Amino acid sequence: MPITKTFINQIEDVVDDALLGLVKCSDEVVFHNKCRRVVLRKDFAAYCRQGNVTLIAGGGAGHEPYPTGYVGRGFLTAAVSGSIFASPPSGHIIMALEATRSTGGCLLFLINYTGDRLNFGLAVEKFKANGGNIRVVTISDDTAIEDSSRIGPRGLAAAVLAIKVNRKQCMISGAMAETRQYSIDQIEDTANKINENSGTIGVSLYPCSIPGQGPMFVLKEQEMEIGLGIHGEPGKMREEIQRAKAIVEKTMSILRDSRKLKLQTGMKIVLMINNLGSTSEIEMNIIKGEVFSWCSSNNIIIERLLVGSYMTSLNGHGISITILKVFDDKILDLLDASTVAPGWKSACLISSNLPSQALPENLSAHDSSKIRMRLKGAQFTVGEKLYCRNVLYTTNYFIAQQELAKLTIISVCNEMCNRKEELNRLDGAAGDGDCGSTFAYAAEGLYLINIIKKSSLAFTHPQVLLEQLAEIYEQDVGGTSGALYALMLSAASEAFSKTTSSSSFVSALQKALTVIQKHGGALPGDKTMVDPLNAAVSNLMQSEDIDWEKAITEAERAAEETSTMTAGAGRASYTSHKVQNCADAGAKAISFWMRAIWNTVSDVTGIQNSI
């Protein structure tokens, strides 16, 4: 299995380098003077002398920002990091305990894994033997394996909530040192209640990788893991990957029905959606929206929402969802308390019992007649007219020409869908790899709208038809391809204002070429879609007789020859010439749809070189 690429110096220095970066770039934390695996809040010595209750957490590295990113005023007093996914040795833990020794006592948080229980347990016993006042809170919030063993569920992201809330309790205890309003017993009790009222479950699409190694486990291409641990341990089940809505429905249902939570209608919760490492922001927002909708439909009230990377699993592509039942409204104030810990992202206030924000009835998702709306069957009636700007047209197609126009659209749609992977591969060499997907999306939408749904594209009027297609590309496809094809189709439509002769099609191509050169800035030889268009137009303009077969052959040749060119325009122009050894995807797309149109016309009419 190939080694995963990472931004590191030496494999053996990964954890130390990461901690050095954290401490260097924060004014709130310092290293222990004898151990760079122990991170302390900057004012730890004075804080402990005041008799405050101190908070310590620790565990293996790879879960950042937990725990070292949560050190600072308003959060942890100290944190101890082990090597990646390995509990720190007891000697390092004792250093942290001794550095934060206080008459107020120490509260130690650990997540429920065997290595942590053993190493921290050993340190705790030695600290107690040396006169230390210490309590231990073990977090065990995993709802995927509630009945797995006598040692209880694994510890996951609820540890972050337990520490944050109880950090505030300790602040109150320190500020009221003379009155001793909050004892270590009270703080410990609150922490245990948080553990008892919280549950977490994770979902992974791709495994994490320890630096210098390959993926920790293997998931099939269309498989996801539900209920995995934060060290890559197996989860509750593996299933075929589903849409985000279905994934949220499954995970939230598991949480709702878990023995720890047993959520009921009207319950108030704190909700944490945790990024396990490499899940994109766009995915996180989708998940966030689906979770909000699920809570709204189940009348579960979200009092606080936290979204971000709180307890990761290196570069794992997945999420975990944590629910904390609000057993006491005071914990909301404690959760809201300010902190300077570098890794903390504050919670936002939200009221999930309010109606979901819906789009106005007269506004679709894209503010026009949209492909996506019709694919869902929304606001659609058979024969519905698609939007088109007002144009004055005097030409129309005969019935036979109308049928031919429909067939050519079907042919182009099929061809572009079939070429999806090829175009994505070509585009990926020097672009973002979505050229084929973009054309396939447009093609599938056009096919479903116009053929299956029988929506009324104006096949009787070529000028209006091209304007409608331009509108679809502009509003539904979007991106660079959408804009270019909208410009091309709109300009081409002007060629049919007075006639529908073969020369009109030549003029249409010429106008399309002119407009994309004007707005896109590309010239022939720049390794773009201009090259095949220019080749076809030049051939047609130079010949006395219009020879479509020859013109399209020239377009295909020009598209293929882009593999030997250096990009002078477009996104590929920003890349090294070393990766520009493939044909341009946009150029190949031009040649594909040209050939598809001409083959259909030739097959149906039986007439060569005439449209």
**Mean pLDDT value across the chain:** 82
Specify the pLDDT at position 283: 98
Q: What is the per-residue pLDDT across 455-466, written as a single tens digit (0 to 9) for each?
A: 567 777 888 889
Average pLDDT over residues 126-147: 87
Task: Round to whole Å and give the CA distance between 536 and 526.
Answer: 16
Q: Which residue has the higher pLDDT, 521 or 25?
A: 25
Model confidence at 377: pLDDT above 70: no
- What stretches of 215-305 show up as alpha helix (H) in DSSP? 244-257, 281-297
Model confidence over 576-600: pLDDT tens digits? 455 457 899 999 999 999 999 999 9
The maximal CA–CA distance of the chain, rounded, in angstroms, is: 103
- DSSP H helices, 207-365, are 244-257, 281-297, 330-336
- Partnered with residue 298 across adjacent β-strands are none
Position 325 pLDDT exceeds 70: yes
The confidence band for 221, taking pLDDT boundaries of 50, 70 and 90, is: confident
Beta bridge pairs of residue 198: 324
Token pair 């005023």 is found at: 73
Predicted pLDDT of residue 607: 55
* Domains present along the chain, CATH in parentheses: 11-196 (3.40.50.10440), 199-209+222-349 (3.30.1180.20), 371-605 (1.25.40.340)
Query: What's the rounded Cα separation, in Å, for the pair 602 and 169?
Result: 81
Strand segments, DSSP code E, in 265-332 are 268-275, 301-308, 317-325
**pLDDT at residue 537 in the model:** 95
Looking at residue 575, its pLDDT comes to 47
Q: Which of 157-171, 424-438, 485-499 has the lowest mean pLDDT?
A: 157-171
Scan for tokens 């705790």, then name that residue: 124
Comparing 386 with 477, which gets the higher pLDDT?
A: 477
How confident is the model over 283-300, as a mean pLDDT? 96
Place of tokens 């009324």: 456
* Total H helices, total E strands in the chain: 19, 13
The Cα 609–Cα 73 span in angstroms is 79
| The predicted structure's pLDDT at residue 101 | 96
Write down the pLDDT at residue 394: 46
Q: Of the candidates 63, 61, 60, 41, which has an alpha carbon nearest to the alpha carbon of residue 52?
A: 41
What ranges in 100-180 are assigned the alpha helix state H? 114-129, 158-175
Give the relative orientation of helices 502-520 and 479-493 as an angle to the nearest 10 degrees. 140
Using the CB atoms, write b or e for 199-220: b if 16+ within 10 Å: bbbbbbbbbbbbbeeebbeebe
Determine if the pTM surpasses 0.75.
no
The reported pLDDT for the residue numbered 150 is 58
Q: What is the 3-state secondary structure (H, E, C) of 474-521?
A: HHHHCHHHHHHHHHHHHHHHHHHCCCCCHHHHHHHHHHHHHHHHHHHC
Mean of pLDDT values over 201-230? 88
- Model pLDDT, residue 464: 87
pLDDT recorded at residue 396: 64
Q: Is the pLDDT of residue 152 over 90?
A: no
> What are 69-118's pLDDT values in tens digits?
999 988 899 999 999 988 999 899 999 999 999 999 999 998 888 888 88
Q: Which of 441-445, 524-528, 566-570 has the lowest mean pLDDT?
A: 566-570
Cα gap 30→38, rounded to integer Å:
9
- Which residue has better confidence, 54 or 347? 54
The confidence score (pLDDT) of residue 535 equals 96
Residues 6+ apart with CB under 8 A from 384: 369, 455, 456
Enzyme catalytic residues: 231
The torsion angles phi and psi of 57, rounded to 5 degrees, stand at: -140, 165
Mean pLDDT of 374-398: 41
DSSP designation for 451:
I
